[in-house]
């Protein structure tokens, strides 16, 4: 299934969960704060801007934001919050689409680079980010660390969340470096809703090599947006890559 088919009107409608989940202040606030600091009031470009979860509050902080987004329904959902003059969006693939101008900050958050299902597409995404960066500019990637250590021998699935009304599990294909996330939501009835999304998982070292191929250098890596130390036990990371300054 293609990404534009996954992120259809139904997915866009249920994506926003104001005040909870990925929209919770304790999740969203530190991300916006860090990105605003990296942008330093300059314009920012968000790859896979979605419904504007990060872009809308970042723009409210005074950072001009432009977006690239493959899903038209997601852009339509964004338009309920901000018009085209406030947050311009180019509809297209983040690996190839171009936005006008150059930026001190390009960012790609919440594991979305893994929506590109081949290594070649992910490398192209880094190169696209580099094309949009000013000398000295930064590309920020937020990504989870593959949880293959949790897989028992002979088992291909890992439950990553289990709470009232929701179970989430990932099924891994280590040979192809693919994972499918399954989200099950249910109530007291016999009915349940399932949403599935395929991903290509990336190890941090592989991500660094992609950056090097695009002419970028790793500047920092932390376990979260607040700057916690990244360790072997970290479940995710925020990596900041920099385009070298002009001579």
Structure confidence by residue, pLDDT tens digits, 29-53: 999 999 999 998 899 999 999 999 9
Instruction: Report domain 3-145+202-242's class.
Output: alpha beta
Burial tier of 138 (Cβ tally within 10 Å: 0-12, 13-18, 19+): buried
Confidence at residue 229, expressed as pLDDT on a 0 to 100 scale = 98
Confidence at residue 126, expressed as pLDDT on a 0 to 100 scale = 98
What residue spans define the domains of the chain? 3-145+202-242, 148-198
Confidence at residue 112, expressed as pLDDT on a 0 to 100 scale = 94
Asked whether the predicted pLDDT for residue 2 surpasses 70, the reply is no
Helices marked H in the chain — which ranges? 3-6, 9-15, 25-39, 55-60, 72-78, 119-132, 204-213
Query: Do 186 and 205 touch, CB atoms closer than 8 A?
Result: no
Distance CA 144, CA 161 (A): 14
Q: Dihedrals φ, ψ of 169, to 5°?
A: -140, 150
Distance CA 76, CA 199 (A): 24
Confidence at residue 148, expressed as pLDDT on a 0 to 100 scale = 86
Pairing label, strands 65-69, 89-91: parallel
Asked whether the predicted pLDDT for residue 240 surpasses 70, the reply is yes
Q: Summarize pLDDT for 169-216 with one digit per residue, the tens.
A: 999 998 899 999 999 999 888 888 888 889 999 999 999 999 999 999
Q: Summarize pLDDT for 109-140 with one digit per residue, the tens.
A: 999 999 999 999 999 999 999 999 999 999 99
For the question of whether the overall pTM of this predicted structure is more than 0.85, the answer is yes
Distance CA 18, CA 221 (A): 28
DSSP assignments along 64-102, one per residue: -EEEEES-HHHHHHHTTT--TTTS-EEES-TTT---SS-
Residue in 93, 91, 87, 15 with CA at minimum distance from that of residue 51: 15
Confidence at residue 3, expressed as pLDDT on a 0 to 100 scale = 67
Distance CA 244, CA 137 (A): 8
Beta bridge partners of 220: 240
């Amino acid at each position: 299934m293609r990404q534009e088919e996954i992120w259809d009107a139904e997915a866009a409608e249920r994506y926003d969960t104001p005040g909870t989940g990925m929209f919770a202040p304790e999740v969203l606030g530190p991300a916006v704060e860090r990105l605003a600091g990296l942008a330093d009031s300059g314009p920012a470009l968000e790859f896979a801007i979605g419904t504007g979860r990060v872009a809308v509050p970042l723009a409210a902080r005074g950072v001009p934001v432009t977006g690239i987004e493959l899903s038209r329904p997601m852009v339509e959902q964004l338009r309920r919050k901000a018009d085209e003059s406030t947050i311009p969006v180019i509809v297209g693939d983040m690996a190839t689409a171009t936005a006008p101008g150059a930026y001190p900050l390009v960012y790609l958050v919440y594991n979305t680079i893994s929506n590109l299902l081949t290594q070649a597409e992910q490398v192209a995404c880094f190169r696209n980010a580099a094309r949009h960066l000013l000398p000295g500019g930064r590309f920020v990637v937020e990504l989870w660390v593959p949880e293959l250590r949790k897989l028992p021998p002979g088992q291909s699935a890992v439950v990553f969340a289990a709470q009232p009304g929701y179970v989430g599990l990932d099924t891994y294909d280590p040979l192809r470096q693919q994972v499918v996330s399954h989200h099950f939501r249910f109530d007291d009835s016999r009915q349940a809703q399932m949403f599935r999304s395929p991903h290509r998982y990336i190890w941090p070292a592989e991500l660094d090599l992609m950056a090097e191929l695009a002419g970028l250098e790793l500047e920092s890596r932390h376990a979260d947006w607040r700057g916690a130390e990244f360790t072997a036990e970290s479940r995710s990371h925020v990596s900041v890559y920099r385009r070298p300054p002009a001579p």
